Every structure is written in C-alpha cells, then in structure tokens.
C-alpha cells in the first residue's frame, strides 16, 4: 500500500513539476506574441488568442469534472467499506461502528428499561 501511495504521490509531484515548467513558457510565448501583434493582430494571432480562452475553459471544465467524478467514486468506496464493516464484524472498523452504536443505544435502553420497571410497579385500579 505504501508503494502504491508513494507512486501516486511521485506521479502527482512529477505532473506538478511539468506544469510548473510548461506554464511560464506558454505564458511568456503568448505575452510576447500579444505584444508583437499590437493593436491589429493577424488572423493567425487572433486564432491563437481565441484558443487561449477556450483551452482554459475546457481544461478547467475537464479538471472539475474529473475531480467531481473521483470524489463521487471515493465516496462510493468509503460507503462500501462502511457497509462491509457491518457485514464482517471481525474487522476493526466494524468493532468501532458497533462501539459507536452501543454508546448511542445505551441511554435509550437505560431509559426504556427504567420505564418498563417503573410502569410495571404501578398498580392498576
């Protein structure tokens, strides 16, 4: 498990590094291109400038959709592991869940038993 987590972390670090190198290069290129184009950019420049905006919107949309999907899947995995903990009581998570439920049930049970005893002692007329 540690190796898998390590690979994922190093992959994310590598992606972050690649982005950190590429982004300034792209920004420098495009800013220089805008400066050289001046007030009347060519058709090729206008196409590139339009592409800048659409690429950013598309990348942001893809990123948000990918993160939303991954969050959804992570929540499903978490819910499944939670449900498994009830089906396999030998696991530690199941024991923790039973402890939590037991703590919640204790005051209710205590009052119900006390009420049953109290009501059982009342003589009916």
User: What is the number of alpha carbons within 13 Å of residue 63 lying toward its C-beta?
Assistant: 6
Please check the confidence at residue 97 and state whether its pLDDT lies above 70.
no
Q: pTM of this prediction?
A: 0.55
Domain range list for the chain: 1-39
The reported pLDDT for the residue numbered 93 is 59
Q: What is the DSSP letter of 91?
A: S
- pLDDT (tens digit, 9 = 90+) per residue, 38-96? 999 999 999 989 988 898 899 999 999 999 999 999 999 888 887 876 776 566 655 66
The reported pLDDT for the residue numbered 63 is 92
């Amino acid at each position: 498990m540690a190796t898998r987590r390590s690979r994922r972390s190093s992959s994310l670090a590598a992606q972050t590094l690649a982005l950190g190198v590429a982004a300034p290069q792209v920004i420098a290129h495009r800013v220089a291109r805008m400066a050289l184009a001046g007030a009347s950019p060519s058709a090729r420049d206008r196409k590139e400038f339009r592409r800048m905006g659409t690429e950013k919107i598309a990348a942001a949309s893809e990123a948000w959709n990918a993160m939303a999907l991954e969050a959804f899947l992570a929540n499903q995995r978490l819910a499944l592991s939670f449900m498994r903990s009830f089906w396999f009581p030998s696991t530690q998570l199941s024991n923790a869940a039973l402890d939590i439920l037991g703590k919640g049930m204790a005051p209710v049970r205590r009052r119900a038993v006390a009420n049953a005893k109290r009501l059982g002692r009342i003589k009916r007329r």
